[in-house]
Amino acid sequence: MRIDWWTLALQTINAVVLIWLLARFLFRPVANIIAERQNTARALIADADAAKAAAIHERDDAVRTAQQIVASRDDALKAVAVEVAAQKQALLAAAQADAEAWRAAAREEAAAARVAGDKLAAERASRLAVDIARKLLERLPDSMRVTGFIEGLATGIGRLPQPTRAGLGENGVAPVLAAPRALSSQEQEQCRAALAACLRRELPLRFEVDPQLIAGLELRSPHAIVRNSFGAELARITEALLDDSHASC
C-alpha cells in the first residue's frame, strides 16, 4: 500500500483549518451562548431564592403580627370599654350641665320678663297720670292759659347770663314767643312790655302757636330757650317718673 504524503498533508491542513474555523465561528459562540444561559439561569435561581426568602420573611412577620394582634385584643377591648364608660360619664355630666344652664337661663329670662313687665306697667302708669293731668289742665279758661305766665317768663329771662340776654334779638333775628293759642293784641303788648322791662330795651318778637304748651309761654332763640309752661313741667315730671321706674326696676 502506497501513502501519498502530499495528500495526507493537505488533508491534515484542511482538517486543522476546519477545526480552527469551527472553533472560531461555531464552538466559541455556542460556548458563549451556553455560558450566558448558565448565567441567566443562575440569576433566575438567585432571584427565586431571594423571593422565597422574602416570602418566608413576610410570612414570619405576618405570623408575628397576628400573634401580637391576638395578644393585644383583650387589652384593646378593655381599653375600649374604659373609654366608652368615660365618654358615657362625660356625656351624662355635659347633659346635666346643659340642663342646669337651661334652667338658669329660664329663670333669668323669667326674671327679666317680670322686670320688663313691671317697667312697662310703671311707664304706662306714669304716662297715664301725666295724660290725665294734661287733660285737666287743658280745661283751664283761655285767659288763665297765658296772662298768668307772663311775669314768670320775664323772671326766667332775667336769670339768664348777661351775655345771653344781650344776644337776644341780635343781628335782626327776632326770638319766637310760643303760646298754646293765638295771643290777642293786648296780650302781645303785655308780653313785649314785660320783656322790655326785664331787658331794659325793646325786643322784637315773632309769635307762634304751640298747643303742646297747654298753658304758659316759651321764649325760643338761637342762644337760649326759656320755658314757663305746663307742657314743659309735665315733660319734666314724665321724665322724672320714668327715671324713677327705671331705677326701681
Answer yes or no: is pLDDT of 33 > 60.
yes
| Residue 53 is assigned to a structural domain of this protein | no
Q: Which residue has the cell 435561581?
A: 45
User: Domain tally for the chain?
Assistant: 1
Q: Taking residues 183-206, what's their average pLDDT?
A: 92
Helix boundaries (H) for the chain = 5-22, 28-137, 150-158, 162-167, 185-199, 230-248
| Residue 9 is assigned to a structural domain of this protein | no
| Residue 149 is assigned to a structural domain of this protein | yes
Burial class of 178 by CB neighbour count within 10 A (0 to 12, 13 to 18, 19+)? buried
Instruction: Name the pTM for this structure.
Output: 0.46
Res 6: pLDDT: 76
In percent, the amount of the chain with pLDDT more than 90 equals 20
**Secondary structure (3-state) at 116:** helix
Answer yes or no: is pLDDT of 194 > 90.
yes
- pLDDT category at 206 given cuts 50, 70, 90 is very high
- pLDDT category at 98 given cuts 50, 70, 90 is confident
| Residue 98 is assigned to a structural domain of this protein | no
Which of the pair, 4 or 220, is modelled with greater confidence? 220
Answer yes or no: is pLDDT of 124 > 70.
no
Answer yes or no: is pLDDT of 121 > 70.
no
| Residue 59 is assigned to a structural domain of this protein | no
| Residue 223 is assigned to a structural domain of this protein | yes
| Residue 242 is assigned to a structural domain of this protein | yes
The residue segments making up the domain with residue 138 are 122-248
Res 190: pLDDT: 94
Q: 229: Cβ–Cβ under 8 A, 6 or more apart, which residues?
A: 149, 180, 213, 214, 215, 216, 217, 218
Residue 238: CATH number of its domain: 3.30.2320
| Residue 144 is assigned to a structural domain of this protein | yes
∠ CA 191-193-199, rounded to 5°: 100
Answer yes or no: is pLDDT of 173 > 60.
yes
